[in-house]
Amino acid sequence: MDYNSFYQKSINAPEGFWQEQSNAIEWFQKPKNILSKNTDDYYHWFQDGKTNLSYLCIDKHIKDGYGEQNAIIYDSPVTDTKKFITFNELHQEVSKLAGGLQSLGLKKGDTCLIYMPMIPQAIYAMLACARLGVIHSVVFGGFAPHELAIRIDDCKPKAVITASHGIEIKRIIPYKPFVDQAMEESSFKPQNVILYNRDNAPLSVVKSYDIDYSELVKKSNPVEPVELNSTHPSYILYTSGTTGTPKGIIRDTGGYATALKFSMKYVYGVEEGERYWGASDVGWVVGHSYIVYAPLINRNTTILFEGKPIKTPDASTFWRVISEHQVSVMLTAPTAIRAIKKEDPHGDFIKKYDLSSLKYQFLAGERCDAATLKWTQDQLKVPVIDHWWQTESGWPMLANMAGVELLPIKSGSAGKPVCGYDIQVLDENGSPAAANTEGYIAVKLPLPPGTLLDIWENTQRFKKGYLERFPGYYFSGDGGYKDEDGYVFITGRVDDIINVAGHRLSTAEMEEIVSSHADVAECAVFGIHCDLKGQQPLGLVVLKTNHVHSMKDIQNQIVQNVRQEIGAVASFKNVLIVQRLPKTRSGKTLRKLLRNIADEHEYKIPSTIDDVLIIDEIKSVYQTHFIGIHNQNKLIN
Ligand code: COA
Ligand code: AMP
């Protein structure tokens, strides 16, 4: 098939295109109303269709005779466990857990928060919610109790599903005590905490709201999937915005299923029955879409990997998993490859494994640098495909559509627009930018199916954040340019969001925490280059003249405060004390300038700067401390 004509069809006649694609999934009621505009001039897909994600992921395949096919391979080097879970077994686990949730009063339209490590019960919990029409909100394990409490207060879950603990490289993550802390801190109190006790070890603290997961499943009856409107929210996934408060992206049901099914065939080039591995975490959008829903809808065996690219036990672990489980297509973040490359620069581990099952290696989550792309291509000898998308889109927006036509790969580009996405580079005034000219990446409405419905209980923020900047377009928050062949190059965020190891974080949120320290007069937090993680946050603080603690103590306390409030995932390790911050005459801190000086990019000193001398002061602070900070980037050994 040829990419250009397939893509143009999706843009010129979106309704016909997506109606055809919607036939690839099963509906309890087929949609007739394909595309509709709501009162906010935003579009919804398949309004009158009815389906259920849990049905599509499980029951349909059993009905079609694939009950004994493996649905999930759980591979956990951190616990030395491998488990093969068939669709029949998945059905048993999910339908009984759904019965348990129902017995606790959870029903269609309720919300349920899931805070779990990478264990099968995390997937069971998501699919059990989807079975009942309960809207789940999965929170990544690297977030601290305070972040959990913020999300509990925002989505008001009837129940929280968690596990006793998770296992990181160096330590045990005490999930249940974190949930207890969050329950204390939040104003809204969920009715129950359903606890999966991993080792059946007695808990030190049992709360009145605790329900034992295994007991609940044992005593409950299986339930059937509920018929849901296509536009019924399947989940809320919080992501960082430009303010201190995360935003709850809402996903629909039927549009999502259609888009995911489409993407498996045409973007990832995977056939039904093959093995697919999204090496991410269920707490991120990559995990929602490409560990859980897309592979299972497409009747692929999904790999659930509880480990890291290195140190579990070493940099060979990815290649062992691909070879042992015959993975056809894999998706990971460039950071993971950089970590492996650092430990095994010549690919000695790779040579020990038979990777002949692998057709494509996909990369996403952050910009892929040329060296990482080249190394991966040289080592794996399969097409290495960078592709770009976001929590908001739910599935790829730019890619090389491997299942349609594999186009030449251009280093530095995340490819061409995926079907359904009319991607434009706009200038300041919303006019298309010329080829090779950097601008704002926006997508002409309507977005294709599967993209965000709204922000949970905050339509104002949704409109302001995405739709108002360029009327008629969805604004992605990323900058970039298109070359003369239509390849798009993403250059990075144009707002205060940073990307650390493929994790999206808000510097505004970090600034709120840093500035709340009693000895801090003002501060700026921004992302600087990191060899391993792409970016890392750096805080510059100006102290109050009469500060109480020593500078060293203040630096340590600030680092601890961010870790405690946001979590270890923030990777916030560096605070520098400066005399003043560079500002415009109107008092705006020049963060971009601070970042550019730190990264030694060329920078222009804005004519609006209040006092040029500050630049020399900042440079001298950087010069004194940067060797230490950059060495830390290399601390992975
Ligand atoms: N639960 C609890 N804590 C977690 C966690 C989780 N699920 N994931 C990460 N953390 C913690 C880590 O233990 C670490 O804590 P520390 O400061 O005490 O060491 C901190 O959060 C930062 O984690 P991370 O950014 O992952 O760094 P790392 O040094 O532990 O590992 C890599 C480095 C490269 C191995 C790791 O970043 C990686 O695997 N990256 C791939 C990224 C990825 O898959 N992104 C998903 C988007 S597609
Ligand atoms: P998230 O919502 O956490 O998936 O993060 C989405 C953001 O990550 C995007 O807005 C981009 O800034 C960045 N991103 C994701 N994939 C890529 C990519 N392939 N190239 C460049 N940036 C990317």
Complete DSSP assignment for 522-575: EEEEEEEEETTTEEEEEEEEEE-TT-SS-HHHHHHHHHHHHHHHT-GGG---EE
Say if 193 falls within a structural domain: yes
In this structure, what CATH number is given to the domain that contains residue 558? 3.30.300.30
Residue 584: DSSP 8-state: B
Whole-angstrom Cα distance, residue 482 to residue 581?
A: 35
Say if 329 falls within a structural domain: no
User: Environment class of residue 23 by beta-carbon count within 10 Å: exposed (0-12), middle (13-18) or buried (19+)?
Assistant: exposed
Mutate to test the pocket of ligand 1, among 139, 280, 335, 388 (most ligand atoms within 8 A of CB): 335
Give distance in angstroms: CA of 340 to centre of ligand 2.
21
Give distance in angstroms: CA of 569 to centre of ligand 1.
6
Give distance in angstroms: CA of 416 to centre of ligand 2.
15
Q: Are residues 124 and 160 in the same domain?
A: yes
pLDDT at 630: 63
Q: Does ligand 2 lie within 6 Å of residue 391's CB atom? A: yes
Helix (H) or strand (E) holding 622: helix 613-633
Mutate to test the pocket of ligand 1, among 338, 569, 634 (most ligand atoms within 8 A of CB): 569
How far does CA 483 lie from the centroid of its chain? 27
Ligand that lies nearest to the alpha carbon of residue 369, given by its number in the listed order: 2
pLDDT at 635: 34
Give distance in angstroms: CA of 336 to centre of ligand 1.
10
pLDDT at 637: 29
Q: Does ligand 2 lie within 6 Å of residue 499's CB atom? A: yes
Give distance in angstroms: CA of 545 to centre of ligand 2.
40
Closest atom of ligand 1 relative to the 169 alpha carbon: 13
Q: What is the pTM (predicted TM-score) of this model?
A: 0.95
426 three-class SS: strand
Q: Are residues 242 and 158 in the same domain?
A: yes
Give distance in angstroms: CA of 364 to centre of ligand 2.
7
Ligand that lies nearest to the alpha carbon of residue 118, given by its number in the listed order: 1
CA distances from 624 to 537, 578, 603, 615, 620 (A): 18, 12, 20, 14, 6
List the one residue out of 134, 229, 263, 237 whose CA is nearest residue 191. 134
For the chain, the average pLDDT equals: 95
pLDDT at 127: 99
Q: Are residues 465 and 606 in the same domain?
A: no
Give distance in angstroms: CA of 488 to centre of ligand 2.
13
224 three-class SS: coil
Say if 376 falls within a structural domain: no
Say if 352 falls within a structural domain: no
Atom 13 (ligand 2): residue with closest C-alpha?
Answer: 366
Whole-angstrom Cα distance, residue 459 to residue 462?
A: 5
Contact yes or no for 60/69 (Cβ under 8 A): no
pLDDT at 186: 98
Q: Are residues 469 and 517 in the same domain?
A: no
pLDDT at 628: 62
Closest atom of ligand 1 relative to the 141 alpha carbon: 1
Q: Does ligand 2 lie within 6 Å of residue 288's CB atom? A: no
Q: Are residues 475 and 523 in the same domain?
A: no
Give distance in angstroms: CA of 499 to centre of ligand 2.
8
List the one residue out of 212, 225, 280, 223 whose CA is nearest residue 257. 225
In this structure, what CATH number is given to the domain that contains residue 275? 3.40.50.12780
Say if 333 falls within a structural domain: no
pLDDT at 25: 98
Q: Which of 447, 480, 513 is the last residue of a domain?
A: 480
Say if 374 falls within a structural domain: no
Percent of the chain with pLDDT over 70: 98
Q: Are residues 405 and 518 in the same domain?
A: no
Say if 20 falls within a structural domain: yes
Q: Does ligand 2 lie within 6 Å of residue 364's CB atom? A: yes
Closest atom of ligand 2 relative to the 497 alpha carbon: 12
Q: Are residues 451 and 544 in the same domain?
A: no
Say if 363 falls within a structural domain: no
Q: Look at phi and psi of residue 15 and say left if phi exceeds 0, alpha if psi is from -120 to 50, else beta.
A: alpha
Give distance in angstroms: CA of 98 to centre of ligand 2.
33
Mutate to test the pocket of ligand 1, among 139, 281, 308 (most ligand atoms within 8 A of CB): 308
Q: Does ligand 2 lie within 6 Å of residue 395's CB atom? A: no
Give distance in angstroms: CA of 250 to centre of ligand 2.
18
Per-residue tokens: 58: 């499980």
353 three-class SS: coil
Residue 604: DSSP 8-state: P
Give distance in angstroms: CA of 159 to centre of ligand 1.
27
Q: Does ligand 2 lie within 6 Å of residue 281's CB atom? A: no
Q: Are residues 7 and 49 in the same domain?
A: yes
Q: Are strands 534-543 and 488-493 parallel, antiparallel or unpaired?
A: unpaired
List the one residue out of 473, 506, 453, 509 whose CA is nearest residue 248. 453
Give distance in angstroms: CA of 288 to centre of ligand 2.
15
Q: Which of 414, 449, 480 is the last residue of a domain?
A: 480
* Crossing angle for the helix pair 507-515 and 551-565, to the nearest 10 degrees: 130
Ligand that lies nearest to the alpha carbon of residue 287, given by its number in the listed order: 1
Q: Are residues 48 and 102 in the same domain?
A: yes
Mutate to test the pocket of ligand 2, among 140, 251, 286, 366 (most ligand atoms within 8 A of CB): 366
Give the range of the structural domain holding residue 615, as residue numbers without chain letter. Answer: 501-625
Atom 29 (ligand 1): residue with closest C-alpha?
Answer: 636
Q: Are residues 266 and 403 in the same domain?
A: yes
Per-residue tokens: 556: 């340590």
Ligand 1: which residues within 6 Å by Cβ?
141-142, 166, 168-169, 173, 280-281, 284, 286, 308-310, 332-333, 335-336, 339, 364-365, 501-502, 568-569, 571
Atom 28 (ligand 1): residue with closest C-alpha?
Answer: 636
Rg of the Cα atoms in the chain: 24
Give distance in angstroms: CA of 490 to centre of ligand 2.
9
Atom 17 (ligand 1): residue with closest C-alpha?
Answer: 568
Q: Are residues 600 and 458 in the same domain?
A: no
Q: Looking at this protein, which amino acid is placed at residue 101? A: L
Q: Are residues 466 and 505 in the same domain?
A: no
Give the residues of the chain that fall short of pLDDT 50: 634-637
Bond into 446 cis (ω within 30): yes
Tokens 């809320």 sit at which residue?
A: 236
Overall number of domains in the chain: 2
